[in-house]
Structure formats: structure tokens, C-alpha cells
Amino acid sequence: MKNNFSKALAPEEKEDKAKTRQEARKLCAVILAIFKMPFMHRLTQSMAENTYVRSRGKNIIKTKIAENTSNTLEQQKVRARMKLAEFLSRVFYTPAQVAFPQRRRDLTALNACVQAIMRAITVNDDLEATVDYTTMQIAKGNLAMLDDISITLDAESRTFTVSYPAGDYGYGSEPTDTLQIVLFEQELMRCKMFEAGTRGEDGNAILNIPTKWNPEEVLAYAFMLSANKRKASNSEYIAIS
């Protein structure tokens, strides 16, 4: 047998109890929102006036606006530089995958390549973008670069010969570090990467290019890469003789 002990509530007590329940529901809603925050990375869509996106490993909430009026000349120049840098980063996609091993964690290899290439791009007031290929970098790191690298073109055989003396390997560098050569055909916007030798030995390598390439339109870049591919050097433009 169960005994039920209950009493009728006065109007004032009913109102107080209703307020208490309402406040409790609000508190639960806040607590649930806090506990659900770790799962916010799953959101990649719009909710109300907010859009949830992921960029460079971070969760970002963007607020919608009726109209974007940010279109100054300087902003247009930045966008033009970015557009060309993104295009060139795709051209150098293969070397970019190994050429930025020491990049920040929130950057992809391609994003790091875009940042490096943008420094060589200028845009005039007519929004015409120009690339200085002699200063453009396609690799970045703190490994020491080899000295006295020479690249010569044999027009008849359509081959490039890379030669260099063995280099010193001080702190952070090893004799097993490899020399990477990137040939870039600027007319076709194609590139090809070659391993030309190691730091600890004199090098002499012959590089062949695809038949569709024009040897006279080829530019060359070099950078060092550790044997375990965890370190790289800054790239250098190498004049072809």
C-alpha cells in the first residue's frame, strides 16, 4: 500500500514553481551547449545567420552580411596576387608535397607553397600581376644549401647536366641530405622534380625533359631535403648556362 502525501498549491506558489522550472530549462540549455562544443567540428553548414567552416585546422564561425563593400584597390591587388599564387602552387604541386616539411601545423603543404610564391608576385594599379621567377621560392626550411651548383643545357640532346662539389655538413645537416632539382617549363606551366645526388659526394647528373617541352623556356630551382624528408632548405633559382 502506497501513501500519497500531496497538498494544493497557492497561486503564488504555482507561479514561483513555474519560474523555477523555466530557469532550470534555461540552465540545461546552456549546459548542453557547453558539452556539445567538442563536437562542433562536425558542423560545416549554415545555421541562422552563421556559417560554420573549417580552415587550416581551425573551427571558424562566419556571420552573413547583406553586401560586401570591401573592394579597395589594395584589396583587389591582394586577391590578384593570391589568385596567381594559388595557380602556381598547383603547377609546383609535386615538389610542394616535400618542400615544406617544417611548415606550421595549421598549414597544408599547398598553403605553405602559396605563401612562399606570393612574395615574388607584384600587382600594378591596372591589376596586372607579374612574377619574378628569379626570386620565387618553392621550398622553405632551415637546412643549409649546397654551394656552386651549376646547370648546363645541351640543346642538341635536350638534356640538362647538374654538377656540384661535395658540401660541408655542419649542425643540422647530414651527408645523406639530397639535392632536389626542379625544372619548370614556363610556357606550358609544367614542372618536373629530380634527385641529383647527396650533400656528401660530388654530383654530376643528367636530366631529361619531356618531348613537348621547349628547352629554352626551362627554368631551374634547387633545394636540399633530408633523407627522412623532415627538413628542407630554402629553394634557390639556378641560372642555366
- Per residue in 112-169, pLDDT (tens digit) is 999 999 999 999 999 999 999 999 999 999 999 999 999 999 999 999 999 999 988 7
Q: Which grid cell is 205? A: 647528373
Taking a C-beta distance cutoff of 8 angstroms, is the pair 232, 139 a contact? yes
Q: What percent of the chain has pLDDT over 70?
A: 72
Q: Which residues of 35-58 are buried (b: 16+ CB within 10 A; e: fewer)?
A: eeeeeeeeeeeeeeeeebeeeeee
3-class SS at 32?
Answer: helix
Cα–Cα dist 95/139, whole Å: 8
Q: Give yes or no for residue 218 having a pLDDT over 50.
A: yes
Q: Give yes or no for residue 229 having a pLDDT over 50.
A: yes
Q: Kindly report which listed range (11-25, 61-75, 101-115, 209-223) carries the lowest average pLDDT score.
A: 11-25
Q: Give yes or no for residue 15 having a pLDDT over 80.
A: no
Taking a C-beta distance cutoff of 8 angstroms, is the pair 119, 89 a contact? no
Q: Tell me the per-residue pLDDT of 168-206, one tens digit each, with 9 for 90 and over.
A: 877 788 999 999 999 999 999 999 999 999 999 999 999
CATH 2.60.40 residue ranges of the chain are 150-238
Q: Is domain 150-238 annotated with CATH 2.60.40? A: yes
For residue 170, what pLDDT is reported?
75
Quickly state the pLDDT bin for 48 (edges 50, 70, 90): low
Tell me the mean pLDDT in the region 27-35. Answer: 31
DSSP result, 50-94: EEEEEETTEEEEEE--S------HHHHHHHHHHHHHHHHHHHTHH
Cα–Cα dist 217/226, whole Å: 30
Q: Which grid cell is 142? A: 632551415
Q: Give yes or no for residue 35 having a pLDDT over 50.
A: no
Q: Give yes or no for residue 34 having a pLDDT over 80.
A: no
Chain mean pLDDT for the chain: 82
Cα–Cα dist 85/19, whole Å: 59
Quickly state the pLDDT bin for 71 (edges 50, 70, 90): confident
Q: Which grid cell is 125? A: 594599379
161 vs 35, more confident: 161
Q: CA quadruple 101, 105, 111, 115: dihedral positive or negative?
A: negative
Tell me the mean pLDDT in the region 98-124. Answer: 94
Q: Tell me the per-residue pLDDT of 153-173, one tens digit each, with 9 for 90 and over.
A: 999 999 999 999 998 877 788
Cα–Cα dist 40/42, whole Å: 5
Quickly state the pLDDT bin for 29 (edges 50, 70, 90): very low
